Chains A and B, each alone.
Chain A
Amino acid sequence: MTFTTDVVIGLEIHVQLDTKTKLFCGCPTKGSADAEKPNTRTCPTCLGFPGSKPVLNKKAVEYALRLCMALGCELSPKLIFSRKSYFYPDLAKNYQISQYEIPLGLKGTLRLGDGMVVGITRVHMEEDPASLVHPSGTGSSAYVLADYNRSGIPLCEVVTEPDMHGPEQAREFMNRLMTVLSYLDIFDEKTCVIKADANISIKESGYVRSEIKNITGFREIERALFYEVERQKIAARSGEKFIQDTRGWDAERGLTFRMRVKETEADYGYILDPDLVVTEMTPAWLKQVKGSMPELAEDKIKRYVEKHKIAQLDAEVIAQERKLAELFEKVAKEVNPVLAAKWMRRELVRVMNFNKQTFDDLKLDEKHLIELLSMVEKKEITDQVAQKLLEEMVVKPFSPRPNVEKHGLKRVADTGALQKVCEDVIDENKSVVEEYLAGKEKSFQFLVGQVMRKTKGAASPQDVNGLLKRLLGGKAGG
């Protein structure tokens, strides 16, 4: 492959699938308590005891199939598992049951916002190893502890082509992948872990690759990539010789470190796993899984734009966040969708970001939101009032209509009443009026502001503008 861009990034992403039980045994994938004891969700199979045998969890296969379908992969007609052999204390059997020659899915794609398409080389299934606990930090502990609660949790590995040209693009890829996972209901952001290995190279080095292993968590992946690109650029500037290597990510110190120089590809001595039979992907099964597929972001965007006539950008932002999309679709049944889209994608997201809220912990009641936006739609309240209410409703939910009535926030539709307020403001600010009449535009804005304050924002700025201009114009004329 010939590269031309400044930075080349390819990712291998490991996604824990949100099944109830592990990939090859009946142990639960999640503990019941928060402070779970190590090595309690285990059995002879996920501990690799002599004589134990794996039995495939079909649900995990269905989840993996959903992901393959969502990424538009070619599906293998047979599911075949292999043993990937290497000695490591987190591997119960010192081999991992994985897929090798024939992965479940091949040749998929994922489209980014700017229309760029990232190729998916393959999607395959495997079992998670145990977790290793370093009692006094990586590298400085005299011993490690192994917790097999994680051993055997189903993983889907998504391998991309080296199609990304920077950490930002990689972040967007991850974002889009998370959206897909979220729609597919196969990944629980709260309890499941996402990990990545990243291949990074830059033009200055002639694209000599470093592989960063085992970066845990969505944000860490982006941090590690930013760090590594900068590290390579600095190394190139200082004339350092590049060697293909494998690096680790130290999240605490925020840097990558060399683990080993990769002279040859690791030799995992793959053989077919003879404890598992070949599973046929029957058309009936595939059809059933296909039938269970939800509408994905891409389809939603299309539908929002075509059916609801919503702006492309609004549609994209809404569809990329499953919970926002679900809320939107409920609200759009009651309120003009274009108005709803505009308010939710701009105002609601802005207010949530300000309050550092996510859709998982959003307390806002959808009924209240519908009530609020209906009032905006019917011009019962002004945008200013609605914004303010929304800000409060996100922090502490309440029904907006009684609140509007109680505090007299209804749009001042009565021109007589509003004219009275305007006249009062003119009388009370004679010097400002004179400044305006002498040609100072800013003074006019001050007067508008005074009227808005007196009406607590319940008057529309257009109305106030018009009235003031008319009244002052009269004066100027007199």
Chain B
Amino acid sequence: MRTLEVIELIRKGNLSVEEHTHKVLEEAKTVNKEYHYFNVIAEEQALVRAKELDAQIKKGKKTGKLLGIPISVKDAICVKGVESTAGSRILEGYIPPFNATAVQRCLDEGAVVIGKTAQDEFGFGGFSVNVGVGFQVPKNPFDVTRATGGSSGGCAGFTQKTKHAHLSLGESTGGSIVAPASFCGVVGLCPTYGRVSRYGLMDYANSLDKIGPMAKTIEEAALLFEVIAGHDDRESTTLAQPAERYTSYIKKPLKGMKLGIVKEAFAKGNDPAVEKHVRDGIGRLEKEGAVCEDVSLKLAIKYGISAYYLVATSEASTNLAKYCGMRYGKHDKLEGSFNEYFTKVRSANFGEEAKRRIMLGTFARMAGYRDAYYLKALRVRSLIIQEYKKLFKTYDALVTPTMPMLPPTFSEIAKLTPLQHYLADIMTVSPNLAGLPHLNMPCGMEKGLPVGMLLTADHLQEGKLVQLGSWLEGRGGGA
């Protein structure tokens, strides 16, 4: 049953929040045994919260755009009172004393947090296989031998798998919302940088991180997005412009809209089945009146990945410095000097990919290399933004496949070199680098596996993405 219908039932008193929450929790526990979508299922807190809401509803307080709706939250997003580790053992046992703004806004609208979802450690990956030491890898809801995509893999997997009304808060740095959404056949909307407050998000790369909604349908994603979007006094990079009613864009006619089909993204090397389904999707949008033209994004495709990894790892390597076993998270026996102590804690508790990115980032910002790597990457980033901005003078949105392949198997992933691993993000990295809103819409099924289309719009044009996405609804993903 769809979220909006469930909210209506709850509002009318035909369904209790506790009952619905209970159902979803039971399902989550069962599913988790095989699929590992949750790092923590916050059963106790969720049921307490559900009872509180029921009591309020009885007293007549029935407002709230998400009244009684269970939400799962990516582990990197802080939830007060619930262990939040960003999927890393170094934060084992850390219970945040505050809610992330996005979480708080959902709670203020009547939502119930049911748990923290699996992810690549601190978001460092595109398949959710780079989980922290001691964590389980989430499995694709269509085929357990395949990956969910990452890094918001737990969000996407459970969103697909659940039979109940449920929404999910994901987070993207270089594609971590749309990539798993594509592999799991769900809707994932990554907003404009600064549109949703990052307050309470454990940072991967602060100039790139964005919290966004994941859901079965575009309407539900738009609803969740309405709730979390907007300025936040506690987060300096949030934008001042007021959020819009994004749900009002659903099924707005496409006549007069111009789409740019990115040539470079339909080149050799893509899985032909992916291309076929994305072309089908484009055809549907054309049928609704959108005009499509081929465009080129040379710079973004050529330099996006390099610039992204330099900026992201430079920032990440400073963000992760705070995890030293001193104030929170994993501690060790106090021995040796401070240097020896934190080295021991970090060596034992960061995963391989976290260590790799710390080293890459530290190197890129060292004196002597800083100009050639970190600062040059910042300049390239500006040029890529300009390249996009030029296209958005003519086009309302750009279209590519989200991922160039079908969800890969774990054994295929194991054969990838780190560079091949990074290259899988080729379509998703550039919109992230440019801070542009982008949307994964499921657009077809191939061999029982979902294919996703990526739509990218100009800054703050999430409305257009919702509008376009609503005409692609119901095409694959089994949602």
| B-binding residues in A (CB < 8 A) | 44, 47-56, 83, 85, 87-89, 92-95, 143, 146, 265, 267, 269-277
Contact = CB atoms under 8 A, between A and B. Distances in A.
Interface of B: 77-78, 84, 86, 91, 94, 96-98, 100, 198-203, 205-207, 233-237, 314-315, 317-318, 321-322, 324, 326-328, 334, 338-339, 342, 362, 365-367, 370, 374, 378
A324 B302 CA distance: 68
A85 B361 CA distance: 12
Contact of A275 (B78, B236, B321): B236
A138 to B, nearest CB: 14
B99 to A, nearest CB: 9
Q: Which has the most chain B C-beta neighbours within 10 Å: A50, A94, A95?
A: A50
8 contacts: A49-B328, A51-B100, A87-B339, A274-B205, A274-B207, A274-B237, A275-B237, A277-B237
A51 B200 contact: yes
B321 A85 contact: yes
B374 A93 contact: no
A276 B321 contact: no
Contact of B318 (A44, A56, A271, A277): A271
A53 B236 contact: yes
B202 A94 contact: no
B60 to A, nearest CB: 35
Nearest to A83: B318
Nearest to A85: B318
A87 B324 contact: yes
Please provide the 6 A-B residue pairs with the shortest distance between their CB atoms, ordered closest to farther: A94-B321, A274-B207, A274-B206, A269-B365, A50-B202, A51-B78
Given A47-B327, A53-B198, A277-B237, A271 B315 contact: yes
Nearest to B326: A89
Nearest to A86: B321
A472 B97 CA distance: 94
A83 B203 CA distance: 14
A44 B322 contact: no
A55 B318 contact: no
A56 B234 CA distance: 10
A44 B97 contact: yes
A51 B318 contact: no
B342 A87 contact: yes
Contacts of A94: 321-322, 324
A447 B352 CA distance: 98
A143 B328 CA distance: 18
B415 to A, nearest CB: 34
Q: Which has the most chain A C-beta neighbours within 10 Å: B201, B318, B338, B365?
A: B318
A217 to B, nearest CB: 26
Contacts of A54: 236
Contacts of A265: 367
A55 to B, nearest CB: 5
Contacts of B100: 51
Contact of A92 (B199, B201, B322): B322
Nearest to B198: A53
B166 to A, nearest CB: 23
A262 to B, nearest CB: 14
B233 A55 contact: yes
B338 A88 contact: yes
A50 B206 CA distance: 12
A221 B271 CA distance: 69
Contact of B370 (A55, A270, A275): A270
A174 B462 CA distance: 56
Contacts of A53: 198-199, 234-236
A223 B19 CA distance: 74
A350 B77 CA distance: 65
Contact of A55 (B198, B234, B327): B234
A59 to B, nearest CB: 16
Given A271-B318, A274-B315, A51 B324 contact: no
B96 A49 contact: yes
Given A44-B98, A95-B321, A265-B367, A50 B315 contact: no
B345 to A, nearest CB: 12
Contacts of B86: 50
